[in-house]
Amino acid sequence: MQTVYPFGGNAPHDDPRQRDKTVTGGKGANLAEMASIGLPVPPGFTITTEECVRYLQAGESFRDELKAEVAKALTHIEAAVGKRFGDAADPMLVSVRSGARVSMPGMMDTVLNLGLNDATVEGLANTSEDERFAWDSYRRFIQMYSDVVLGLDHGLFEEALEIVKEDNGFYADTELSADDWRSIVGQFKGIVEEEWGKPFPQDVHEQLWGAIRAVFDSWDSDRAKVYRRLNDIPGDWGTAVNVQAMVFGNMGDTSATGVAFTRDPATGVRAYYGEYLINAQGEDVVAGIRTPQYLTHAAREAAGAKAPSMEEAMPGAYGELARVFDLLEAHYKDMQDIEFTVERGKLWMLQTRSGKRTAKAALKMAVEMVGEGLIDQSEAVRRIDPMALDQLLHPTLDPQAPRDVLTSGLPASPGAAAGKIVLDADTAEQWANRGEKVILVRVETSPEDIHGMHAAQGILTARGGMTSHAAVVARGMGRPCVSGAGAVSIDRNSRKLRIGSHELSEGDEITLDGTTGQVMLGIVPTVEPELVGDFGTLMVWADELRRMRVRTNAETPEDCRMARQFGAEGIGLCRTEHMFFEASRISAVRQMILAEDEAGRRRALAQLLPEQRADFTAIFEVMAGLPCTIRLLDPPLHEFLPTRDEEFAELSDATGLGVDHLRRRADELHEFNPMLGHRGCRLGITYPEIYEMQARAIFEAVCDVQAASGKAPLPEIMIPLVATRRELAILKALIDRVAEEVFTEKGARVDYLVGTMIELPRAALMAGDIAQEAAFFSFGTNDLTQTTLGVSRDDSARFLAPYVDKGIFPRDPFVSLDIEGVGQLVELAAERGRATRTEIKLGICGEHGGDPASIAFCEQVGLDYVSASPYRVPIARLAAAQAGLAAGK
How far apart are CB 51 and ligand ADP at their closest, in Å? 18
Q: What is the C-alpha separation between 422 and 438, in angstroms, rounded?
A: 6
Q: What is the C-alpha separation between 748 and 741, in angstroms, rounded?
A: 11
**98 vs 467 by CB, closer to ligand ADP:** 98
How far apart are CB 225 and ligand ADP at their closest, in Å? 18
**352 vs 617 by CB, closer to Mg ion:** 352
Could you tell me if 818 and 793 are in contact, meaning their C-beta atoms sit under 8 angstroms apart? no
Nearest to 738 by CA among 776, 778, 701: 701
**282 vs 464 by CB, closer to ligand ADP:** 282
Q: Tell me if 95 contacts ligand ADP by CB under 6 A.
A: yes
Q: Tell me if 351 contacts Mg ion by CB under 5 A.
A: yes
Could you tell me if 880 and 862 are in contact, meaning their C-beta atoms sit under 8 angstroms apart? no
Known active-site residue 205: no
Could you tell me if 622 and 559 are in contact, meaning their C-beta atoms sit under 8 angstroms apart? no
State the binding partner of 257 from Mg ion, ligand ADP, none, CB within 5 to 8 A by kind.
ligand ADP
Q: Tell me if 95 contacts Mg ion by CB under 5 A.
A: no
Known active-site residue 681: no
**255 vs 296 by CB, closer to ligand ADP:** 255
Could you tell me if 40 and 90 are in contact, meaning their C-beta atoms sit under 8 angstroms apart? no
Give phi and psi for 323, each to the nearest 5: -65, -40
Strands (E), 792-883: 841-844, 865-868
Q: What is the C-alpha separation between 181 and 165, in angstroms, rounded?
A: 11
Nearest to 863 by CA among 886, 845, 888, 882: 845
Could you tell me if 388 and 366 are in contact, meaning their C-beta atoms sit under 8 angstroms apart? no
Q: Tell me if 244 contacts ligand ADP by CB under 6 A.
A: yes
Number of residue whose CB is nearest Mg ion: 351
Nearest to 639 by CA among 587, 674, 685, 668: 674
Q: Tell me if 246 contacts ligand ADP by CB under 6 A.
A: yes
Q: What is the CA radius of gyration of the chain?
A: 34
Could you tell me if 331 and 19 are in contact, meaning their C-beta atoms sit under 8 angstroms apart? no
Virtual torsion, Cα 502, 507, 509, 514, nearest 10 deg = 90
Query: Of the listed pieces 240-248, 393-401, 776-784, 862-870, which binds ligand ADP according to CB under 6 A?
Result: 240-248
**111 vs 858 by CB, closer to ligand ADP:** 111
Q: Tell me if 110 contacts ligand ADP by CB under 6 A.
A: yes
How far apart are CB 284 and ligand ADP at their closest, in Å? 8
How far apart are CB 418 and Mg ion at their closest, in Å? 40
Say which of 638, 845, 848, 858 is annotated catalytic. 845
Query: Of the listed pieces 49-57, 103-111, 417-425, 792-800, which binds Mg ion according to CB under 5 A?
Result: 103-111
Say which of 454, 469, 578, 848 is annotated catalytic. 469
How far apart are CB 236 and ligand ADP at their closest, in Å? 21
Could you tell me if 208 and 10 are in contact, meaning their C-beta atoms sit under 8 angstroms apart? no
Query: Of the listed pieces 244-252, 295-303, 489-497, 620-628, which binds ligand ADP according to CB under 6 A?
Result: 244-252
> b/e per residue, 329-351, with b = 16+ CB within 10 A?
beebbbbbbbbbbbbeeebbbbb
Going by DSSP bridges, is the β-strand pair 336-343/256-261 parallel, antiparallel, or unpaired?
antiparallel
Alpha helices in 747-780 (DSSP H): 761-765, 767-770
Residues in the chain: 889
Q: Tell me if 694 contacts ligand ADP by CB under 6 A.
A: no
Can you say how many angstroms the Cα of residue 597 is from the centroid of all Cα atoms in its chain?
52
Q: What is the C-alpha separation between 93 and 214, in angstroms, rounded?
A: 18
How far apart are CB 158 and ligand ADP at their closest, in Å? 18
How far apart are CB 543 and ligand ADP at their closest, in Å? 40
Q: Tell me if 293 contacts Mg ion by CB under 5 A.
A: no
Q: Tell me if 97 contacts ligand ADP by CB under 6 A.
A: yes
**84 vs 451 by CB, closer to ligand ADP:** 84
State the binding partner of 341 from Mg ion, ligand ADP, none, CB within 5 to 8 A by kind.
ligand ADP
Strands (E), 784-881: 841-844, 865-868
Q: Show the site string, 306-345: x = touches Mg ion by CB under 5 A, - = not.
A: ---------------------------------x------
How far apart are CB 345 and Mg ion at their closest, in Å? 23
How far apart are CB 349 and Mg ion at their closest, in Å? 11
By CB under 6 A, the count of residues binding ligand ADP is 16
6, 282, 627, 636: which one contacts ligand ADP (CB under 6 A)? Answer: 282
**109 vs 424 by CB, closer to Mg ion:** 109
State the binding partner of 425 from Mg ion, ligand ADP, none, CB within 5 to 8 A by kind.
none
Q: What is the C-alpha separation between 455 and 431, in angstroms, rounded?
A: 9
Side chain identity at residue 110, one-letter code: T
How far apart are CB 82 and ligand ADP at their closest, in Å? 16
Going by DSSP bridges, is the β-strand pair 416-422/509-513 parallel, antiparallel, or unpaired?
antiparallel
30, 351, 378, 796: which one contacts ligand ADP (CB under 6 A)? Answer: 351
Q: What is the C-alpha separation between 384 and 363, in angstroms, rounded?
A: 7
How far apart are CB 855 and ligand ADP at their closest, in Å? 35
Q: Tell me if 247 contacts ligand ADP by CB under 6 A.
A: yes
Distance between start and end Cα atoms, the chain: 31
How far apart are CB 19 and ligand ADP at their closest, in Å? 18
Q: Tell me if 350 contacts ligand ADP by CB under 6 A.
A: yes
130, 311, 339, 429: which one contacts ligand ADP (CB under 6 A)? Answer: 339
Q: Tell me if 352 contacts Mg ion by CB under 5 A.
A: no
State the binding partner of 95 from ligand ADP, Mg ion, none, CB within 5 to 8 A by kind.
ligand ADP
State the binding partner of 282 from Mg ion, ligand ADP, none, CB within 5 to 8 A by kind.
ligand ADP
**283 vs 436 by CB, closer to Mg ion:** 283
CA torsion sign, 515 to 516 to 520 to 522?
A: negative
Q: Tell me if 112 contacts ligand ADP by CB under 6 A.
A: yes
Q: How many CA atoms lie within 13 A of 483 on its CB side?
A: 21
How far apart are CB 109 and ligand ADP at their closest, in Å? 6
283, 611, 647, 794: which one contacts ligand ADP (CB under 6 A)? Answer: 283
Going by DSSP bridges, is the β-strand pair 549-553/865-868 parallel, antiparallel, or unpaired?
parallel
DSSP calls for 26-62: HHHHHHHHHHHTT-----EEEE-HHHHHHHHHTTS--
By CB under 5 A, the count of residues binding Mg ion is 3
Going by DSSP bridges, is the β-strand pair 776-779/841-844 parallel, antiparallel, or unpaired?
parallel
* Residues β-bridged to residue 843: 778, 865
**250 vs 612 by CB, closer to ligand ADP:** 250
Query: Of the listed pieces 243-251, 445-453, 722-730, 871-879, which binds ligand ADP according to CB under 6 A?
Result: 243-251
- 14 burial via Cβ count (<10 Å: 0-12, 13-18, 19+): exposed
Interface of this chain with ligand ADP, residues 24 to 43, rule: CB under 6 A: 42
3-state secondary structure of 116: coil
Q: Tell me if 250 contacts ligand ADP by CB under 6 A.
A: no
Residue 38 Ramachandran class (φ > 0 left, ψ -120 to 50 alpha, else beta): left
Q: Tell me if 77 contacts ligand ADP by CB under 6 A.
A: no
State the binding partner of 84 from Mg ion, ligand ADP, none, CB within 5 to 8 A by kind.
none
Query: Of the listed pieces 106-114, 190-198, 274-282, 732-740, which binds Mg ion according to CB under 5 A?
Result: 106-114
Binding positions for ligand ADP, rule: CB under 6 A: 42, 95, 97, 110, 112, 244-247, 257, 282-283, 339, 341, 350-351
Binding positions for Mg ion, rule: CB under 5 A: 109, 339, 351
* Active-site residue set: 469, 845
